[in-house]
């Protein structure tokens, strides 16, 4: 199924609760896909199952105070990519809360139990994307910082300002092919540095470069 077909087939109404069969159709179509995505990205089977069940539950609108999570879908990317991004964000939040709980110091005071629970981070509000967005943005910025300044400038001139590689070559006094090699090498450096930084920050998270790009596109995070 192409992204275009995917987007047309599951056009989300302004009020998803007005289509009582919508969540059931999404679940039938994408549950196995989302489970595979989560496991491939570092979740255990139990974590994947729990996260996806919570996702479908949040997609069912309860009332005005708790509308359907699907109301947050903007339609700017295929629905399956958006769903995968939402559950990946929840996975990141879950793993970080597990890590924090594992790092809590032993408390010996009489109010140890109270202090303990005060130190446990609260669960992320359904649909919050801060953890994943910050992770994607920070790793990219770190990778950019390791890329040679002249190569970054070339990338910006070509991809942001619309100059051709031939025009950039004239500015540097280089042949077009040399500009192309320089830019290709810079992109490879950015890819390697980004994935290395991801592992450094969250060692359990297993993303391919294509995964990373798709997550950035879902969040409309620019590369340059």
Angle at 3 between CA 131 and CA 74, to 5 degrees: 50
| CA dist., res. 80 & res. 9, Å (int) | 11
Q: How many CB atoms lie within 10 A of CB 220?
A: 10
Question: pTM above 0.85?
Answer: no
pLDDT in tens, 201-217: 999 999 999 999 999 88
For residue 121, the model assigns a pLDDT of: 40
Q: What are residue 15's phi and psi, to 5 degrees?
A: -120, 90
Whole-angstrom CA distances from 197 to 69, 140, 143, 144, 189 are: 31, 9, 8, 11, 12
pLDDT in tens, 85-105: 999 999 999 998 887 765 545
| CA dist., res. 74 & res. 90, Å (int) | 19
């Amino acid at each position: 199924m192409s992204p275009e077909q995917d987007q047309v087939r599951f056009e989300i109404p302004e009020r998803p609760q007005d289509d009582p069969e919508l969540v059931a159709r999404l679940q039938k179509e994408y549950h196995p896909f989302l489970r595979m995505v989560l496991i491939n990205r570092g979740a255990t089977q139990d974590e994947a199952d729990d996260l996806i069940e919570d996702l479908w539950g949040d997609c069912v609108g309860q009332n005005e105070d708790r509308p359907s999570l699907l109301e947050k879908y903007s339609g700017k990317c295929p629905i399956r990519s958006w769903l995968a991004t939402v559950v990946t964000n929840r996975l990141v939040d879950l793993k970080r809360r597990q890590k924090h709980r594992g790092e809590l110091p032993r408390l010996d005071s009489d109010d140890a139990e109270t202090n303990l629970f005060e130190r446990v981070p609260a669960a992320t509000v359904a649909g919050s994307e801060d953890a994943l967005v910050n992770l994607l943005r920070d790793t990219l910025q770190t990778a950019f910082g390791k890329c040679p300044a002249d190569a970054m400038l070339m990338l910006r001139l070509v991809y942001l300002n619309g100059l051709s590689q031939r025009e950039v070559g004239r500015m540097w006094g280089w042949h077009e092919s040399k500009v192309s090699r320089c830019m290709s090498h810079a992109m490879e450096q950015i890819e390697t540095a980004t994935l290395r930084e991801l592992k450094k920050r969250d060692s359990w998270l297993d993303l391919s470069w294509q995964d990373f790009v798709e997550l950035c596109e879902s969040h409309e995070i620019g590369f340059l």
